[in-house]
Structures are given as C-alpha cells and as structure tokens.
Amino acid sequence: GKWVYTFGDGKAEGAGGMRNLLGGKGANLAEMANLGLPVPPGFTITTEVCTAFYENNKAYPSELAGEVTNALSHVAKLTGRIFGDDQNPLLVSVRSGARASMPGMMDTVLNLGLNDTTVLALAKNADDERFAYDSYRRFIQMYSNVVLGIEHHHFEEILEHYKESKGFVLDTDLSAADWQVIITGYKKQVQDTLGHPFPQDPQEQLWGAIGAVFGSWMNARAITYRRLHDIPASWGTAVTVQAMVFGNMGDTSATGVAFTRNPSTGVKELYGEFLINAQGEDVVAGIRTPQNITEEARIGAGSDKPSMETALPEVFAEFVRTTNLLEKHYRDMQDMEFTVERGKLWMLQTRNGKRTGKASLRIAVDMANEGLITKEEAVGRVDPASLDQLLHPTIDPKAELTIVATGLPASPGAASGEIVFTSDEAEHLKSAGHKVILVRVETSPEDIHGMHASEGILTTRGGMTSHAAVVARGMGKPCVSGAGSVRVDYAQGTMTASGVTFKKGDMITIDGGTGQVIKGATQMLQPELSGEFAVLMEWADKARRMNVRANAETPQDARVARKFGAEGIGLCRTEHMFFESDRIVAVREMILAENEAGRRAALAKLLPIQRGDFAELFEIMSGLPVTIRLLDPPLHEFLPQTEAEIAEVAKSLDVSAERLKHRAAELHEFNPMLGFRGCRLAIAFPEIAEMQARAIFEGAVEAKKKTGQTVQPEVMVPLIVSKAEFDLVKDRIDAMAKLVAEETGETIPYKVGTMIETPRAALRAGEIAETAEFFSFGTNDLTQTCLGISRDDAGSFLGTYTAKGILPNDPFVSIDQEGVGELVKIGVSRGRETRDAIKLGICGEHGGDPSSIGFCEKVGLDYVSCSPFRVPIARLAAAQAAL
Ligand code: PEP
Ligand code: MG
C-alpha cells in the first residue's frame, strides 16, 4: 500500500475528500495546496498506518521508513533545506489528525529537528541568535512534555527561577545567552528524569514524535472521548509532518487564528486575533494580549494595538482574498490558522468552524441568501438541539430585580419557580402541577429526574462543566452553577443569599444567561422568533412531511405551542388539570368515594371545570386537532397527604378522617405504574370517562359557538392491551357524543383512538385498528413495558448500563430502535393493514428527540408530538429526516 502522501507548491497527492485516510488536518492541507494556496510543504502518514500499527503489535508497515525518507527529500527539494543538515537544516512540525477533531490526543510538536548543531545553523541563516535559541528551548520543552512525558511545570520552574535570579519580568528580557543557560537546565532536567539525554538525532526525534501521535490514539483520554462521541477506534489517526515556518522572526512575522464569520453571532466579518513576532502557542497561551485582525474590529474593541490590517497591509490583503476563497470553496464558515514569516503569508490549517447555536442559524440563512448553499442545505446545517439555546424566555430588561446572588451562566434561559431542595420533591411537586427550581449544593446522576422536573437548576458549587451545567445544557434547561455566596441548609430546608432567607416553596428566578439569582418571580420576555429563526423554520416546514404537534394542557402551554408552530395538540394529559387548587378537593372526593353515587356527586362538581378547560383549549388551538386523553395515572397520586388535606376531604365527603384514611390505604398499590391506571380506571369507573367525554363534547360546542370555527376533538384511551378494553370505553364516548349532540343540537365531528403503550397493544394493533381511528405511540410507557425498566426507578442503574455500553443511550430519551422501535413498526404496519387511513403519531418524550424523530420519519408516522419548547426542534429535525 501507499502509506505517505505529500503536499506543497500548489500540488498534493491527496485531496480534501480523503479525510478518512489523511485525517481532517491532512485532507484540508492537501486541498489548500491543490487550490494553490501558500501551504508549507509536508506529508501525511495515513490513518491506515495507525490501524496497521495496532494490528501488528505496534510495528510499522515495512515500507513506511522508506516512504518517509522519500517524502522528506520531497520537502527538502521544495524548501531547499535538508532534515538534520548542519548548514541548512529543515525543521518540521508534527501533528495528529483524526477524521473528527479529537481533544485528548497528542496535538503538536513544533521546531522538530533542532539540536546543539542545527541550532547554530538556524541562528546563522536567520541572522538571529536569540530567535534560534528561543526556538530550541521551546522545542525541548514541548517534545519532552508530549513525547517524553515530562510535566511542563518542571521546565516552567527552571525558567521562573532563572528570571527571578536575574530580575527579569518578561520572556523578552532574555537574551540568546540567557536562553542557552535555560537550554542547559532543560537538558539536565531530561537527563535527571529519564536517565538518558534529550535526543540529539533528528531521525530519532521524528520517529519519537510519530510514535507519540499513534500512541496517543489509545490513551485514556482519547478512548473516553471516542466512547462519548461514538467514534470507533478503528478510524485511527493520521500524522502530518510539515516544514516549519516562523512567526517569531521579528516585526514582519506574525501568527494568528481567524474565522470567516463571527462564531458567536454569525455576522459576516473576518473575526480573529494575531500576534506580531510570535509562535502559534503564544496566541492560545494567553500570555500576551492578541491583536485584532481588522481595523474595524480594533476600533470596536477599543484596542490601542495596531490591527493586522494596518501593521501588515499587504499580507492582510492576501489573507482576506485567501479566506474568501476558502469559504467559497468549502461552502462553510472556516476556522483558520496562519503564520506570516518575514512578510510572507502561510496557511497552516483550515476547517469548518465551531459556532454557537445563534451563529449557526445566522450563517446558514445568510449563506443560503448569498447563494452559497441551497435552502435545503441551510436546513441541514443547523443542529436541531442547538435551537434550544435560542428558545427560552429571558428576563424583561424593564423588570425591577432584587438580585441576591450571582453564579456562573451555565445553561441559557431564565426561569421562575418554587424552591425545592431534593429531586424527589421536585418530581413530586411538578406532577402536582407546580413549577419548581431545584436548588442543590451540587447535583449528581441521581438528580436527573429532579432536574427533568424542574424549570431550572441552581447549584452553589461546581463550574461550567459541573454535572448540573452539562446535564442542564443537554436538557435545554436554565442553570446557574457555582453560586458560592448562596448557603443551602438541607436540614432546615432553607437557602440564604445576601442576608435573605428563603424557605422551600418560596419563589425565585434564575437567569442561566447571566448567572443571576433573583428574589421572587419576574417579568419575562418570550424568545425572539422572527428574523433568521423564522426564515429557517419556513424552509424547514417546506421540507418536512410529518406534522408537529405539542403535548400541552394549560392555556399557557397551548399558546406557547402555537407560537412555536405546533399544528395541533397531540396529548392533553387531563390529570394535569386536576391538581389546580379549585378542583383538587373534588378530585379527591371522586377517588375516595365509596360508591358510584358518591363518585357521581364529585364528578358533577368537576364537569363544569373540565368543560371550561377544554373549551379554552379548543379556542386557543382555533380549528387545529386537539387530542385529549382520558384520565391515566394511578389514583393514589391524587390522594391527600397532610392531616389538613385529609380533614378537608373528609368534611366535604361527610365521613370521618379515620374512614378516609382507611379508604386511602385500600388504594395503596405495590406497583402503581402497572396497577390501577389507564383505561382500567375508565372500565372500572365508567362514570369518570363519561364525565370527561361530556366535558370534551360540551366544551367543543361552546368553543364552536363562541369562535365560529371548527373544532376537532380527538378522544384518546390510555394504556390499553386489547380491543375489548378499547371498545368498551369507545362505546361510552360515542354514546356521550350522541347525547350531547341531541341536547345541544350541535354535531361535532370527532375521532376516538388509543395510545399504543404496551407491547400487547402493539402486537394486537391489527384488530384494535378495526375500531380505533388513530394510534398515538406512548413511548414512555412502551419503553418501560418493553424493557421492563421502571421509568421512575431507572436512574439508579441506567447510567451504569450506558457507561458499560450495554445500552447506547438512555432509552427514555432516545428511542430504543431495535426493541421499542420494533414494536412501533409492528403497530404501524398492522394498524395500516386494517385501516389504511389510520392516523399515526407519537407523544412520548421521544417525540421531541431529533434522532427518535428520524426514526419516526423512517417508519412513516403522520406526526410527532412533544413539549411546546421542543416544537421548533421537532420541526427542524423532521425536515432533516425528510431531506
Ligand atoms: C407515554 O407513556 O409515552 C405517554 C405519553 O404518556 P405518559 O407519559 O403520560 O404516561
Ligand atoms: Mg403513558
């Protein structure tokens, strides 16, 4: 095989399309060379060498040494310098480069080829002794660190001690003679640590660096990174060896990094920084303050250091032409590294630049409008998950705030809620319809359920990459982390900040964009949905096949859903409406009644309330379909907890508290999620389903009369396992529809369908579809019942499962395509076989997960339904799935 590919002087053996073989860096260098751009000549050792190396007990292919020698001669011819030569030495950089950029691997060794002899030649040829010794000491330190494994601080200490002893402050205070002393110290450090001297032979240096790159492919950090990002070990890394160019050869030399567009805002402007008389590492090291590239940026930043535009005007002009050419060529925003050596520009790297969600959106839309990419490509360019950052409410700048603490802005968006101190509390209150902010010293994987249940998360410890920050960003929830001035007292259930003591249940607001913690609830501004966002959404809507609906029950959620473009409600969980203070007592009466008459009395109180809720929902959704699910959860979730609550219900039921407690105990279940819930409630207590059906149809009539618009109720039966169950409940619903039509003189067209959320329902979908007019896959319960993993208790072991690779990811977040997905496919095909026009959707959490949405497209669902804030994400993901 061919193991080495050369590039330089307007030609390359490789090309941009050869990423798999040459790695990202090697492929892009070859591409730039082919474009005729000024790239220092060099060569890339392929990823296949890496693979062969590990397959053959860490031995290189036998031809490799010869190919490297030939490639070095090629570089020598192009540069007029010879590797290891004592008169005119060629110096090289050695870099790793996998297909995908991979932190954790050996990155770069610069100035390789320097030794006690070649340094003299470098000094002579550059006519700069100080520069040569400075380069040599940098090389010894870098090589010793990344290849020989000696920690940086040893070298830094030697330098610091020397500077102190001489009274120097800056590195620039050191002369060539000073650097020579340092070099002696560095070499001694290597000898003392390793028991052998720093390698003087350039060939030994080169093969040492190549070996270090391949070795780093299997270091622990790289392995972890690959596991987290699904990168197979078999990809391997390439090694690029390239002639050195020097940005530290005086005032006409420089080095820098730049983006063709602003990576945080997306604005079309050359954005970046550079340093005169510096080597690449100096820019990122942050020791000197870098200078702006353009004059406009310099003025904007108020900097008094000259921009590249004024300091090196001719090079700047060439650089601008080059960056424009690269962006046009790659048809994407480029992130570039460059060096100027004595007035000559050299391009060292280009790649598609990383960017924020906001920039990603702006760049995609701008580029399509500029004609650089198509609208479809623009739709494909934006990661749906990144929209999350843009879709959250922010605090109204006009609101008066009492800021009690400031932590780190760990995850964007602002949220208000009642303080809770444990994740169980968060979950409990959330299911009771409250909005909560989870306040913890720090969070751990055991808090995932609580974080899910919260509007936002506040921690007093931990940084931007703490568990809370990372997980919150993943969930798209606002988070303030590391608010160190906040004192949490779990035992007392209090939190103190700026002298104010908050109790559990008190309202606070957090702003994950600024890190502020604010007393009380505040006025919020809803996210800006115009501009590029609206444009991209419009393009996405044209491209997608599936409809997108929302899971919503409150008027507030329904309004947000509509604003985000929901095309209906795919799941209204009626039980969420039962916790409001004006009805919970009646709900409890209904549950705790000892007979049908008692239940009916309570239901009569609930009827007008539910009717009003539904009428409002229909009105907000103005003509769009609204799927309302009959009561689903285990009844005990509604039971009174405190003595006061028990007394209140006992009084209105006119029974003793003792008797009420006894009745509550009777309702206790060992396994409530597999117990008395779902359609089982409607079958045992048909009067509950009847009341809800009446409320739905009467509400529909009311909304129709009020608005004059059509109303499309879809009544949904939860958790069935058989057609018999479904039919029994459907008969009641149909009868009620007829009755309401007779009573009101208004006929409302409606559908009755079912959730498919048990394996048996999926398997029996063929016959269920004989009477069911739609299916909505409830993949939360379907995952729970298919895997036999409790959705409420999975937290304690699921992490271990994903860490060990038993499950690729949390099946409650991203659908388990092989198992649960198989049941969905069976449900789809058997359902359609019976009823061609059956409407099929999904309303589990997966309906808002981009990769699960891709699956839904593949199996041909008609719509996905997800929480209101995820609607735009789903619209974009559905478009990408369809493209
Ligand atoms: C489901 O099970 O997927 C579903 C949407 O219902 P719930 O989450 O309310 O059980
Ligand atoms: Mg369910």
Using CB distances shorter than 6 Å, the residues near ligand 1 are 571, 573, 632, 757, 778-781, 843-844
- 221 marked as binding residue: no
Other CB atoms closer than 10 Å to residue 760's CB: what's the count? 14
Most confident of 159-168, 405-414, 528-537, 645-654: 159-168
> What is the distance between the alpha carbons of residues 852 and 864, in angstroms, rounded to a whole number?
10
Query: Distance from the CA of 103 to the center of ligand 2, in angstroms?
Result: 41
- Ligand 1 atom nearest the C-alpha of 776 is 5
Pairing state between β 4-8 and 524-525: unpaired
Q: Give the model's pLDDT for residue 672.
A: 87
pLDDT band at 470 (very low <50, low <70, confident <90, very high): low
- 400 φ/ψ angles, rounded to the nearest 5 degrees: -85, 125
Most confident of 438-447, 562-571, 578-587, 629-638: 562-571
Query: Distance from the CA of 437 to the center of ligand 1, in angstroms?
Result: 23
Nearest to 484 by CA among 422, 541, 442: 442
**Higher pLDDT among residues 839 and 636, named by residue:** 839
Least trusted range by pLDDT, from 543-552, 639-648, 793-802? 793-802
- Residue 452 annotated among the catalytic residues of the structure: no
Active site residue: 392, 449, 452, 467, which one? 467
The side-by-side arrangement of strands in the sheet containing 500-503 is 487-489, 494-497, 500-503
- Residue whose CA is at the smallest distance from ligand 1 atom 10: 781
CATH number of this structure's domain 4-243, picked from the four choices 3.20.20.80, 3.30.1490.20, 3.40.50.300, 3.40.50.720? 3.30.1490.20
Predicted confidence (pLDDT) at residue 447 exceeds the cutoff of 90: no
- What tens digit of pLDDT does each residue of 828-837 get? 999 999 999 9
Predicted confidence (pLDDT) at residue 445 exceeds the cutoff of 80: no
Query: Taking a C-beta distance cutoff of 8 angstroms, is the pair 88, 80 a contact?
Result: yes
Q: Give the model's pLDDT for residue 472.
A: 79
Class of domain 544-882: alpha beta
| Radius of gyration for the chain, computed over Cα atoms and rounded to the nearest angstrom | 33
- Tokens for 750, please give them: 């409606």
What mean pLDDT comes out for the span 290-319? 93
Query: Distance from the CA of 759 to the center of ligand 1, in angstroms?
Result: 14
Q: Give the model's pLDDT for residue 809.
A: 84
- Tokens for 223, please give them: 């392995």
What mean pLDDT comes out for the span 694-715? 97
Least trusted range by pLDDT, from 239-253, 567-581, 679-693, 863-877? 567-581
* Interior angle at CA 119, CA 114 and CA 121, nearest 5: 120
- What tens digit of pLDDT does each residue of 648-684 get? 888 888 889 998 899 888 888 888 889 999 999 999 9
Ligand nearest to the CA of 629: 1
- Ligand 1 atom nearest the C-alpha of 573 is 9
Q: ipTM of this complex > 0.95?
A: yes
- Ligand 1 atom nearest the C-alpha of 846 is 3
- The domain ranges of the chain are 4-243, 254-355, 392-525, 544-882
Q: Give the model's pLDDT for residue 833.
A: 98
Query: Distance from the CA of 814 to the center of ligand 1, in angstroms?
Result: 15
- Amino acid at position 146, single letter: V
The torsion region of residue 847 among left (phi > 0), alpha (psi -120 to 50) and beta comes to: alpha
Report CA 45 to chain centroid distance, whole Å: 33
Predicted confidence (pLDDT) at residue 474 exceeds the cutoff of 60: no
Least trusted range by pLDDT, from 418-422, 720-724, 729-733, 866-870? 866-870
- Tokens for 29, please give them: 């260098």
- Residue whose CA is at the smallest distance from ligand 1 atom 1: 778
- 573 marked as binding residue: yes
What mean pLDDT comes out for the span 144-170? 94
Helix (H) or strand (E) holding 34: helix 19-34
Kindly list the distances between the CA atom of residue 710 and the CA atoms of 556, 626, 750, in Å, as whole numbers in the listed order: 21, 12, 11
Ligand nearest to the CA of 574: 1
- What tens digit of pLDDT does each residue of 777-821 get? 999 999 999 999 988 788 778 888 887 888 888 898 899 999 999
pLDDT band at 605 (very low <50, low <70, confident <90, very high): very high
Query: Helices then strands (H, E): number in the chain?
Result: 34, 34
- Residue 866 annotated among the catalytic residues of the structure: no
Query: Taking a C-beta distance cutoff of 8 angstroms, is the pair 879, 853 a contact?
Result: no
Active site residue: 572, 843, 856, 866, which one? 843
Query: Taking a C-beta distance cutoff of 8 angstroms, is the pair 140, 310 a contact?
Result: no
Residues of the chain with pLDDT > 70, as a percent, come to 98
Query: What is the second-level CATH architecture of the domain 392-525?
Result: 3-Layer(bba) Sandwich (3.50)
pLDDT band at 412 (very low <50, low <70, confident <90, very high): confident
- Ligand 1 atom nearest the C-alpha of 778 is 3
DSSP string, 623-660: TSEEEEEPP-S-GGGGS--SHHHHHHHHHHHTS-HHHH
Q: Give the model's pLDDT for residue 448.
A: 80
Which of 632, 777, 849, when mutated, tests ligand 1's pocket best, judged by the most ligand atoms within 8 Å of its CB? 632
pLDDT band at 285 (very low <50, low <70, confident <90, very high): low
Kindly list the distances between the CA atom of residue 641 and the CA atoms of 647, 648, 657, in Å, as whole numbers in the listed order: 10, 11, 12
pTM of structure: 0.81
Pairing state between β 254-259 and 334-341: antiparallel
Ligand nearest to the CA of 572: 1
Query: Distance from the CA of 469 to the center of ligand 1, in angstroms?
Result: 27
> Which residues, including other chains, have CB under 8 Å from residue 773's CB and lie 6 or more apart?
714, 751, 752, 753, 835, 838, 839
Query: Distance from the CA of 64 to the center of ligand 2, in angstroms?
Result: 60
Segments of 53-200 assigned E as strands: 82-83, 89-90, 92-98, 108-112
Predicted confidence (pLDDT) at residue 287 exceeds the cutoff of 80: no
- Ligand 1 atom nearest the C-alpha of 844 is 3
| Three-class DSSP category at 709 | coil
Query: Taking a C-beta distance cutoff of 8 angstroms, is the pair 357, 266 a contact?
Result: no
- 778 marked as binding residue: yes
- Residue whose CA is at the smallest distance from ligand 1 atom 6: 778
- Ligand 1 atom nearest the C-alpha of 757 is 2
The torsion region of residue 117 among left (phi > 0), alpha (psi -120 to 50) and beta comes to: alpha
- Ligand 1 atom nearest the C-alpha of 779 is 3
- Ligand 1 atom nearest the C-alpha of 784 is 2
Predicted confidence (pLDDT) at residue 579 exceeds the cutoff of 90: no
What mean pLDDT comes out for the span 464-475? 70
Query: Distance from the CA of 777 to the center of ligand 1, in angstroms?
Result: 9
Q: Give the model's pLDDT for residue 464.
A: 63
- What tens digit of pLDDT does each residue of 708-738 get? 999 999 999 999 999 999 999 999 999 999 9
Q: Give the model's pLDDT for residue 286.
A: 57
| Average confidence score pLDDT of the chain | 93
- 800 marked as binding residue: no
- What tens digit of pLDDT does each residue of 850-862 get? 999 999 999 999 9
The torsion region of residue 871 among left (phi > 0), alpha (psi -120 to 50) and beta comes to: alpha
Predicted confidence (pLDDT) at residue 188 exceeds the cutoff of 90: yes
- Residue whose CA is at the smallest distance from ligand 1 atom 8: 780
What mean pLDDT comes out for the span 614-630? 97
Query: Distance from the CA of 282 to the center of ligand 1, in angstroms?
Result: 54
Q: Give the model's pLDDT for residue 599.
A: 92
pLDDT band at 471 (very low <50, low <70, confident <90, very high): confident
- What tens digit of pLDDT does each residue of 322-334 get? 999 999 999 999 9
Q: Give the model's pLDDT for residue 107.
A: 79
> What is the distance between the alpha carbons of residues 43 and 73, in angstroms, rounded to a whole number?
11
What mean pLDDT comes out for the span 233-246? 95
Q: Give the model's pLDDT for residue 465.
A: 57
Q: Give the model's pLDDT for residue 444.
A: 81
What mean pLDDT comes out for the span 138-152? 94
Predicted confidence (pLDDT) at residue 224 exceeds the cutoff of 60: yes
Query: Distance from the CA of 527 to the center of ligand 2, in angstroms?
Result: 30
CATH number of this structure's domain 254-355, picked from the four choices 3.30.470.20, 2.40.50.140, 1.20.1440.230, 1.25.40.10? 3.30.470.20
- Amino acid at position 591, single letter: I
Query: Distance from the CA of 570 to the center of ligand 1, in angstroms?
Result: 11
- 654 marked as binding residue: no
- What tens digit of pLDDT does each residue of 15-67 get? 999 999 999 999 999 999 999 999 999 999 999 999 999 999 999 999 999 99
